[in-house]
Amino acid sequence: MSSKKAIIIGAGIGGMATAIRLKLLGYHVQVFEKNDYPGGKLSHFEFNGFRFDAGPSLFTSPHLIDELFALANEPIGEYLTYEKIALACNYFYDDGVCIKAYTNKDAFAAELKQKTNEPSQNIHRYLFDAKDAYNHIAIIFLQHSLHAIQTLFKAPIFKAIGKLKLAYLFKSLNDYNKAAFTSPKLVQLFNRFATYNGSNPYKAPAMLSLIAHLEHNEGAYYPKGGMISITNALYNLALKIGVQFSFGKSVQKIQTKSNSVTGIMVDQKNYDAAIVVSNMDVYFTYKNLLNDASKAAKVKKQERSSSAFIFYWGMNKTFPSLDLHNIFFSADYKAEFDAIFNTGLPFDDPTVYINITNKLEPGKHAPIGKENWFVMINVPANNGQDWTILEQFYRKAIIKKLNKIMGENIEPYMEVAEVLTPVSIESKTASYMGSLYGTSSNSNMAAFMRHPNDSKTTSGLYFVGGSVHPGGGIPLCLSSANIVANLIKEKYHEKE
């Protein structure tokens, strides 16, 4: 019967996690994916002996994945292994200073004291406050729908209000960080966490300071085999418990009748289901699948998050000064974000992120004596720019910056070069304007303005993934799947 059928549109992380949860609730689950592979942004490719994770590169909150395997009563070790890393990131500054952000708080505080003369109590206080805010405030956002009345009765709202500082809502992240630290270098370092959801630290609320808790209190991790191992683990778990996948299948329409979902149309064929969950960008879901121009226009009004240029460089050399995660900061961070969110103009001193998985698994992601560089900069969302010209502009700017800080010309060592632009991000992952996280968080009410996980006008229609509540990134997409499954369970009186 269609009443026990659930269809997932998109096999991204949020889509697969939702599929697993609904299958475990007793639904017949079928996932339709337009690409010929699972994972959405969390994919990979190989070229001339180099392996590259194509999208997200930071792994935090592994317990969210552990939870899925525990629910399925499957041993996660047979699907995925991961380890906590000692160094979260190397931060390189324009003046030659390098800060090693250790995941051990005492080691991190000692490093900051030595490199910036920042009093150790400042970093400990900041991370304590981030932990406190995360455990009492953020947890409501991550485990509950903000658009469901039952949240008021289930979530510890009043306890959260007691922990809510006015600064979290009425100060920008930058202003909050300036009050917390004496060193401009630390302000810049912790401003960076706004980019974890594609936002501007000079506009986004100080509430985003709690993001630091994930990396510096809970820790950063590395999945053996690279980030693609997370995709493979979820996909194989879904297959094991009986989820069905149809790849290379673009959904043309979500079918409805009398304000209820009845199924979808794929290749002019109808598939019946009483529940449809879209892991597609919510804008395209309304515009293309529901033909609802009014709701699409409403989504469109909200500011997009940043997009990215990603250069994949196979380097014919190893670089001992670099680790798994590396950041080369802009000399003028505010000007960089002005360019991304205000003027939209090319910026010639971008902050550069380099991820090198071969550092932790030498010889497995690049030939011996070589390295696989995932090189990313934040750029404006696609608004019709000439990205072919900008590709050359940013490539030149990145090389110039790295040459200056690293003290050598890296360009001759490039053996392999591929690129992912905002346009290709949009075409491959159906992310509107190539924005990585849907809408930005550049307002104090942004968290409450994200699209809900269920439709208020169409029964049986749900939304999951980075473009809806609670936001983008692997942990939030996994949390989004949990919220969707709970909403469905509550509405249809399912029992575990």
pLDDT at 71: 98
Mean pLDDT of 149-155: 47
pLDDT of residue 165: 61
What are the sequence ranges of the domains in the chain?
2-40+225-301+444-491, 86-219, 306-429
Question: Which pLDDT value is given to residue 164?
Answer: 56
Mean pLDDT confidence for 23-32: 97
* Gap between the Cα atoms of 221 and 453, Å rounded: 28
Decide: 329 and 302 in contact? Cβ < 8 Å. Answer: no
Residue 36 has pLDDT above 80, yes or no: yes
What is the Cα–Cα distance from 68 to 321, expressed in whole angstroms?
Answer: 37
* HEC string for the chain: CHHHEEEEECCEHHHHHHHHHHHHCCCEEEEEECCCCCECCCCEEEECCEEEECCCCCECCCHHHHHHHHHCCCCHHHCCCEEECCEEEEEECCCCCEEEEECCHHHHHHHHHHHHCCCHHHHHHHHHHHHHHHHHHHHHHHHCCCCCCCHHHHCCHHHHHHHCCHHHHHCEHHHHHHHHCCCHHHHHHHHHHHHHHCCCCCCCEHHHHHHHHHHHHHCCEEECCCCHHHHHHHHHHHHHCCCEEEECCCEEEEEEECCEEEEEEECCEEEECCEEEECCCHHHHHHHHCCCHHHHHHHHCCCECCEEEEEEEEECCCCCCCCCEEEECCCCHHHHHHHHHHHCCCCCCCCEEEECHHHCCCCCCCCCCCEEEEEEEEECCCCCCCHHHHHHHHHHHHHHHHHHHHCCCCHHHEEEEEEECHHHHHHHHCCHHHCCCCECCCCCCHHHHCECCECCCCECEEECCCCECCCCCHHHHHHHHHHHHHHHHHHCCCCC
Mean pLDDT of 412-418: 97
Tokens 């930071």 correspond to: 58
- The confidence score (pLDDT) of residue 89 equals 98
Structure confidence by residue, pLDDT tens digits, 116-138 = 999 999 999 999 999 988 887 76
Q: What is the pLDDT of residue 333?
A: 98
pLDDT computed for residue 94 by the predictor:
95
Average pLDDT over residues 144-172: 56
Among 149-153, 402-406, 474-478, name the one with the lowest average pLDDT. 149-153
pLDDT at 330: 98
The answer to whether residue 80 scores a pLDDT higher than 70 is yes
Give residue 152's pLDDT: 43
Window from 95-104, 137-146, 391-400 with minimum mean pLDDT: 137-146
Question: Given this model, what pLDDT does residue 114 score?
Answer: 98
**Residue 464: pLDDT above 70?**
yes
pLDDT of residue 144 exceeding 90: no
Best CA proximity match to 91, nearest among 187, 4, 17, 19 = 187
User: Which range among 11-15, 211-215, 391-395 shows the weakest confidence by mean pLDDT?
Assistant: 211-215
Q: Which two tokens stand for residue 385?
A: 């720019």
Kindly report the average pLDDT of the chain as a whole number. Answer: 92
The per-residue pLDDT for range 221-277, each reduced to its tens digit, is 999 999 999 999 999 999 999 999 999 999 999 999 999 999 999 999 999 999 999
355 strand-pairing partners = 325, 374
**For a pLDDT cut of 90, what percent of the chain falls above it?**
82
How far apart are alpha carbons 62 and 51 in whole angstroms? 23
Is pTM, for the whole model, over 0.85? yes
pLDDT tens track for 294-341: 999 998 888 889 999 999 999 999 999 999 999 999 999 999 999 999
Structure tokens at 214: 């994930």
Does the domain at 2-40+225-301+444-491 match CATH 3.90.1150.10? Answer given as no
Q: What is the pLDDT at residue 472?
A: 87
> Is 49 a residue whose pLDDT tops 80?
yes
C-alpha pair distances (Å), 138 with each of 144, 173, 185, 193, 483? 10, 16, 26, 15, 14
Give the model's pLDDT for residue 150: 53
How many other C-beta atoms lie within 10 A of the C-beta of residue 366? 27
pLDDT tens-digit map of 197-211: 899 999 999 888 989
Contact at 8 Å (CB) between 484 and 277?
yes
Mean pLDDT of 457-483: 94
